[in-house]
Amino acid sequence: MPDLSDERWSEPPPVWLLDVDGVINVKRPGWGAAPFHGRAHALGTEWRLRWAPALVQRIRRLHRDGVAEVRWCSTWCAWPGEIERLFKLPGLDRAFGEVPDFSVAKLAAARTVLREGRRLVWTDDVEVPGPGPLRDELVRDGRALLIRPDPRRGLQPVHLDAIEAFCTTPLGS
């Protein structure tokens, strides 16, 4: 991994728009260890979540080390403290607050990151577009990495390897 504090690295880190359900919170997270379980509260309901601790550790490290600027981009954006407490993550920025249409808000967040001149990592099991004009629009200049994991398994080590490689390779390299 390059020394991101090196003055030759002038580009800010990519923004990672991170969904929760189907990405971190999944039925069969794998990662070679038993999953962790916990409960979070939202909308007057207690929700049971299940995740791979090694996945959350890698997300925490990539954010802490400045490799990526992780932002919540999830239905959990209205309750970030619940998932940050559960996953033992620092307070992360949110892509949006309470919104009537998460699909529209998530795509708008991705477009905003790119419009601001930042590189984008977007991980979402539903809203990341598949092949077609919308995906082509987002990835056309190599400034976006889009990952749509299997919603039963969520992000896997190979995905985190791809994210880290994308984030630590200067654009155009």
Question: What is 70-85 written as a DSSP string?
Answer: EEE-SGGGG-HHHHHH
Nearest to 20 by CA among 78, 108, 83, 68: 83
Q: Report the pLDDT value the prediction gives residue 7, as an integer from 0 to 100.
A: 46
Strand partners, 36: 51
**Would you state the pLDDT for residue 8?**
40
Closest CA to 75 of 125, 132, 119: 125
Residue 4, pLDDT score: 52
**What is the signed CA dihedral for 20, 151, 38, 83, rounded to 10 degrees?**
0
> Does residue 43 surpass a pLDDT of 90?
no
What is this structure's pTM?
A: 0.92
pLDDT in tens, 98-139: 888 999 999 999 999 999 999 999 999 999 999 999 999 999
Question: pLDDT digit string (tens) for 72-99?
Answer: 999 999 999 999 999 999 999 999 988 8
Helices then strands, counting H and E runs in the chain, come out as: 5, 7
DSSP 25: B
Pairing, β 93-94 against β 45-51: unpaired
Domain borders along the chain are 15-168
- Report the CATH number of the 15-168 domain: 3.40.50
Output b/e per residue, 9-29; b: 16+ Cβ within 10 A: eeeebbbbbbbbbbbbbbeeb
- In b/e form, how buried is each residue of 92-118, taking b as 16+ CB within 10 angstroms? beebbeebeebeebbbebbeebbeeeb
- Model confidence pLDDT, tens digit, residues 23-42: 999 999 989 999 999 999 98
Neighbours of 143 (CB within 10 A): 16
* Residue 155, pLDDT above cutoff 70: yes
Of the candidates 136, 135, 49, the one whose C-alpha atom is nearest the C-alpha of residue 87 is 49
User: At 59, which helix (H) or strand (E)?
Assistant: helix 53-64
The pLDDT, as a whole number, for residue 11 is: 83
* Across 128-154, average pLDDT: 97
Confidence of residue 3 (pLDDT cuts 50, 70, 90): low
